[in-house]
Amino acid sequence: MTEEELNDLTSDCPTLYHMAERGSWASIRDRGLLSTSALLDLYGVQEPQRGLIERCHRPSSVELSAQGLPRAVVRDQIPMSDAGLKRCLPARLTPADWYGLLNEKVFFWLTADRLHRLTGAKAYRDREHDVLEVDTRALVNAHRDRIWLCPINSGCTKPMPHARDEGAFARIPDYPYADWSRKRRRGERVVELAIDRAVPDISHFVQRVVVMKGASVVGVVEDA
């Protein structure tokens, strides 16, 4: 991806979206937006529980607690399954490998449409969620070297488990934006933006935090 293409992307997608557990914004603001692996480190989760959370499918959310820390929730992975991953991963990668890879990253959607597909999915539509609306350009400027771009929903295998491997994620200079521009409309040329491990200064880039239920904003938690 060239600098001109990056400018094109950030103009098309000026806001990033992250769906978090309801009520989690205060902890995110104070401790940063953490990947699952970073959250497990913070809460001192050890084996064998750690492996069950980090490298196995999570059919339901997992609550974490530790002295001096607020309640935290590692969200479920209902859109994925071991069976689906076995169909779409190369033989050299196991479902455990894929879960481990995803759990090392913090993920953002690049469009409200993609966000609404998740908040409106059957498993989530009746629940409220904290949604962080983030300034794309500011985040990219601050964390460019730690960013990955992905052209698929890497955490979903339903209904169609599209082929994938670790090469689905590319750093900004390596992302084939021109190729995807020929294949897809604006807003769909990058599906996910991911950052290694954590965004400790996420509060610097958040424009607004809202409570969403389905595709509807039902409250505002913070408005910058």
Q: Is residue 224 scored above 80 in pLDDT?
A: no
* Domain, as residue range, for 98: 3-223
Is residue 100's pLDDT more than 90?
Answer: yes
**Are residues 20 and 28 in contact, defined by beta-carbon separation less than 8 angstroms?**
yes
Give this prediction's pTM: 0.95
* In the block, residue with structure tokens 């090392």: 104
pLDDT tens for 54-98 read: 999 999 999 999 999 999 999 999 999 999 999 999 999 999 999
- Cα–Cα distance for residue pair 134/152, rounded to 1 Å: 20
CA distance 94 to 170: 20
How many domains would you assign to the chain? 1
- For residues 144 and 172, the answer to whether their CB atoms sit within 8 Å is yes
- Continuous H helices in the chain: 3-12, 25-31, 36-42, 49-54, 82-88, 95-103, 112-119, 136-143, 177-183
Show the tokens assigned to 206.
């958040």
Burial of 161 from C-beta contacts in 10 A (0-12 / 13-18 / 19+): middle
pLDDT of residue 223: 83
pLDDT digits (tens, 9 = 90+) for 194-204: 999 999 999 99
